[in-house]
Amino acid sequence: MPVEDGAPAAALRRGRPRSTEARDKILAATEELLSEGGFQAVTMEAVAARAGVAKTTLYRWWPNRAAVALDCVSARMTPIVDTSKAASYRERFQRQLKATIRLLNSAQGHAILALIGAKQTDPALAEAYSEQIARPRRAQTRMLAQQAIMAGEIAEGTDLDLFLDAIYGPLYYRKVVSGEPVTDAFIDRIVDAAFTAFGGR
Amino acid sequence: MPVEDGAPAAALRRGRPRSTEARDKILAATEELLSEGGFQAVTMEAVAARAGVAKTTLYRWWPNRAAVALDCVSARMTPIVDTSKAASYRERFQRQLKATIRLLNSAQGHAILALIGAKQTDPALAEAYSEQIARPRRAQTRMLAQQAIMAGEIAEGTDLDLFLDAIYGPLYYRKVVSGEPVTDAFIDRIVDAAFTAFGGR
Amino acid sequence: MPVEDGAPAAALRRGRPRSTEARDKILAATEELLSEGGFQAVTMEAVAARAGVAKTTLYRWWPNRAAVALDCVSARMTPIVDTSKAASYRERFQRQLKATIRLLNSAQGHAILALIGAKQTDPALAEAYSEQIARPRRAQTRMLAQQAIMAGEIAEGTDLDLFLDAIYGPLYYRKVVSGEPVTDAFIDRIVDAAFTAFGGR
Amino acid sequence: MPVEDGAPAAALRRGRPRSTEARDKILAATEELLSEGGFQAVTMEAVAARAGVAKTTLYRWWPNRAAVALDCVSARMTPIVDTSKAASYRERFQRQLKATIRLLNSAQGHAILALIGAKQTDPALAEAYSEQIARPRRAQTRMLAQQAIMAGEIAEGTDLDLFLDAIYGPLYYRKVVSGEPVTDAFIDRIVDAAFTAFGGR
DNA sequence: CGGTAACCGAGACGGTACGTCCCGTCTTAGT
DNA sequence: ACTAAGACGGGACGTACCGTCTCGGTTACCG
């Protein structure tokens, strides 16, 4: 969401270059505020003050607090890939989903949920969220599903996005929409159901 | 969410009774604002002005704007039960989900999504949402699933909530979390998958 | 400049009445700031902070800092009437003008000059200045001139405003426009000239 | 007010010389802004943008916006000498003052009044105004008064500055301080009064 | 003829104050 | 007791300019 840092810049850029120091201080301050008071503590005002930065600088690069938080989360978020080995892909998915729910229950997860909340009424944020959070994660998990197909655990020809929605959907649904708790048992059974529906030989 | 109008009231209440007129004007104003500018147009200030009501009155009965919007939605929302007959329960569920996604794409749906968004950072609202929106709907759809079991389309002993999460989850996940469009084909396949996994016989 | 406190109010006024306490604290704070840092220290922000008052309250009753300062000056300014007895009206005018220049050289005078400066580009302030400062003072000095006519020191039929402009004009001109110092001798001679031109007998 | 272009320069100056093009563009832009939005439209930011010039360049040569405006006015202002012949010096002064009030009522005059306003709280500007505007004009009008003495219309030995303050003072006083309109009749009578008081023969 | 000093444009930076919106609380008078 | 009206202290918003500071690039003079 910060301005495109693309290639064409170097050639025709003039004027003082963007201060990476400021950017770093801003994201650090945001991270602190997020963990201290959640997303609603992330005020442009507070971020600027905490970072020792002018509000103008903030607004120069981010349109609103949600964009800042998103940048913070996407830049500093520990990617939740469960790298542990497991007997089967079914089990690997179960572990992966359990790691996901643990993340969502953490302070960082609170920020992510707040962003998901905020993007319901902010199309620009929604787009940014897709690009910086949703799609990269989906790409990762799609690879895992791909491997599961090659291992024969998922039927060949399965629509991977459909499959992934079938397992991640119920998890997020409970967390975000219905507000019911998500237990490990729930995850196990959802993954089992998906493997039953889409399972290969 | 309006203050409990429970039993003890009638007996020992004194003074002027609550004005139903005010309540109606408030909800009407809220509905207008919702359809005009979405949830973020629903400020206490704006509702009061539009309704020709004092802010005091608003705050006496609702704690914040989300509560008002929620009340408005839950009081005036056309319940989306697809009453059409169909050959199978599988198909009835498909129709039901398609009706749901149509609702979510409507102006009213925008309000609902905004509420879902807002409740991510507002526990009281989350609780109210559960009580007034989520649980009643779940009760309705659970009944349908119950009938599907009795008709033999879903396996006996199936955890109904698990089943319902398996079909509603992916829908809401795409709509609320990943922001991908939800097509009829997607719904068909998700329902098919659930009936494969939990199917009877 | 504060809202008309006229008669019709009492009858149909509703809602919380204006807080005189807030008004007092604001004017006191303004006076402090004026004497500490001159007119340019009188920021809406600073006044609000110093007075322990919300900025909204400030803006509710005054359109800008100049209006506040003007209100402060006109409400708390010691009226500069030189009450000393003198042999002649000519001498009384000379004393009066010397008192005026002493005022303009004081801290309070600095505020007045700043207001005169500010009103050059602010028509609303200009109007307010006329009403609250210029016209009341003129009324006072015109009475003195009237008496001088009755005493025969100024010719009957003299346009009093013309006479007063002829003596106050040079004083303010040097102070405000040309920036030259105004000495007592200068005042004496200007008054002498006016009495020569407009003198009675 | 632009940096001293005095003697020592030529000798030991090195590097690129000051760009007259930039200076011209700046003053032109300032003139435009002055006539469009008055003095308060003349911000350093706006001048730089309008002139296509870097703010650095502006600040290199002028300390603030008032200095720029003053430079603009003093460099481009048509000097208001009324060159028309007249029967008497009394009448020439009357014409001269009427030309002055016409100037003060014009767009350019608005800028001058704004500068007079600004210099009330800016000593450096006040000094610059004296040097570049006030004193040159006074020199001109003093010459006229000198001639009037030699022609016998003003008494020999009259303090010229006192005389000039006596006629210009009331004009500026009404325009700048009391805000009353200045009519031709007013000017005639003020000049008459001065010639009565200071008149020769 | 190559340095170097001062200029120029662009524009990012920390900062102050602005004027507005909405919050949630309060005080008053009217019904 | 409840209502409409609306003033109050407060927090944050997003913007306008301020004056300073790098940048890269451009002349002129001077050795």
| String of DSSP letters for A34-68 | HHHH-GGG--HHHHHHHHT--HHHHHHH-SSHHHH
Alpha carbons A65 and D81: distance in angstroms, whole number: 60
With CA atoms as reference, report the closest residue to D99 among D123, D83, D111: D83
| Residue A156 in domain | yes
- Does residue C151 have a pLDDT over 90? yes
pLDDT band at C15 (very low <50, low <70, confident <90, very high): confident
Torsion-angle region of residue D38: left (phi > 0), alpha (psi -120 to 50) or beta? left
Most confident by average pLDDT, B2-6, B14-18, B67-71, C186-190: C186-190
Is residue B35 located within the same domain as residue B94?
A: no
Residue nearest to nucleotide F11 (CA to C1'): A45
Q: Which 48-67 residues of chain D approach strand E with CB closer than 7 Å?
A: 52-57, 60-61
- Does residue A12 have a pLDDT over 70? no
Task: Round to the nearest angstrom and report the end-to-end CA distance of chain A.
Answer: 44
| String of DSSP letters for B23-67 | HHHHHHHHHHHHHHH-GGG--HHHHHHHHT--HHHHHHH-SSHHH
- Does residue B6 have a pLDDT over 80? no
pLDDT at A5: 41
Name the token pair of D172: 């500026």
| Residue D82 in domain | no
Contact state of B159 with A116 under an 8 Å Cβ cutoff: no
Alpha carbons D128 and D16: distance in angstroms, whole number: 27
- Taking contacts as CB-CB distances below 8 angstroms, the residues of chain A near B191 are none
User: Helix or strand or coil: residue C199?
Assistant: strand
- Taking contacts as CB-CB distances below 8 angstroms, the residues of chain A near B137 are none
Is residue B179 located within the same domain as residue B106?
A: yes
pLDDT at B39: 86
Is residue B16 located within the same domain as residue B108?
A: no
Is residue A131 located within the same domain as residue A44?
A: no
Share above pLDDT 90 across residues of chain B, in percent, rounded to a whole number: 66
| Residue C4 in domain | no
Which residue matches tokens 């922000």?
C45
- The number of beta carbons lying within 10 Å of the beta carbon of residue D136 is 12
| Residue B101 in domain | yes
| Residue A1 in domain | no
User: Helix or strand or coil: residue B13?
Assistant: coil
Is residue B153 located within the same domain as residue B57?
A: no
Is residue A67 located within the same domain as residue A93?
A: no
Q: Crossing angle, helix C160-172 and helix C184-198, to 10 degrees?
A: 160
Q: Which chains pack against A, by 3+ Cβ pairs within 8 A?
A: B
Q: What is the mean pLDDT of residues B180-197?
A: 97
Is residue B29 located within the same domain as residue B120?
A: no
Chain B residues with CB-CB distance to A under 8 A?
A: 38-40, 113-114, 116-121, 126-127, 129-130, 134, 138, 159, 161-162, 165-166, 168-174, 176-180, 186, 189-190, 192-194, 196-198
CB-based contact B47:B65 (threshold 8 Å): yes
Q: What is the mean pLDDT of residues D138-149?
A: 94
DSSP state of C87: S
| Residue A52 in domain | yes
Torsion-angle region of residue D180: left (phi > 0), alpha (psi -120 to 50) or beta? beta
Is residue A108 located within the same domain as residue A58?
A: no
User: Which range marks the domain in which residue D183 is found?
Assistant: 89-198
| Residue B82 in domain | no
- The number of beta carbons lying within 10 Å of the beta carbon of residue D150 is 12
Is residue B93 located within the same domain as residue B69?
A: no
Q: Cα dist. B18→B22, B57, C21, D103 in Å?
A: 8, 10, 35, 68
Share above pLDDT 90 across residues of chain D, in percent, rounded to a whole number: 71
What's the Å distance between residue C42 CA and nucleotide E23 C1'? 27
- Does residue C7 have a pLDDT over 50? no
pLDDT at A122: 86
Which residue matches tokens 């201290």?
A36
**Reduced 3-state DSSP string for chain D:** CCCCCCCHHHHHCCCCCCCHHHHHHHHHHHHHHHHHHCHHHCCHHHHHHHHCCCHHHHHHHCCCHHHHHHHHHHHHCCCCCCCCCCCCHHHHHHHHHHHHHHHHHCHHHHHHHHHHHHHCCCHHHHHHHHHHHHHHHHHHHHHHHHHHHHCCCECCCCCHHHHHHHHHHHHHHHHHHHCCCCCHHHHHHHHHHHHHHHECC
Alpha carbons C98 and C137: distance in angstroms, whole number: 15
| Residue D48 in domain | yes
Is residue A126 located within the same domain as residue A55?
A: no
Residue D148: give its domain's CATH number: 1.10.357.10
As for how many domains chain B has, the answer is: 2
Higher pLDDT, C127 or C188: C188
CB-based contact C27:C71 (threshold 8 Å): yes
DSSP state of C15: S
pTM here? Answer: 0.86
pLDDT tens for A128-176 read: 999 999 999 999 999 999 999 999 999 999 999 999 999 999 999 999 9
- Does residue D147 have a pLDDT over 80? yes
Is residue B111 located within the same domain as residue B68?
A: no
Is residue A100 located within the same domain as residue A162?
A: yes
Residue nearest to nucleotide F24 (CA to C1'): A14
pLDDT at D121: 87
CB-based contact C86:C151 (threshold 8 Å): no
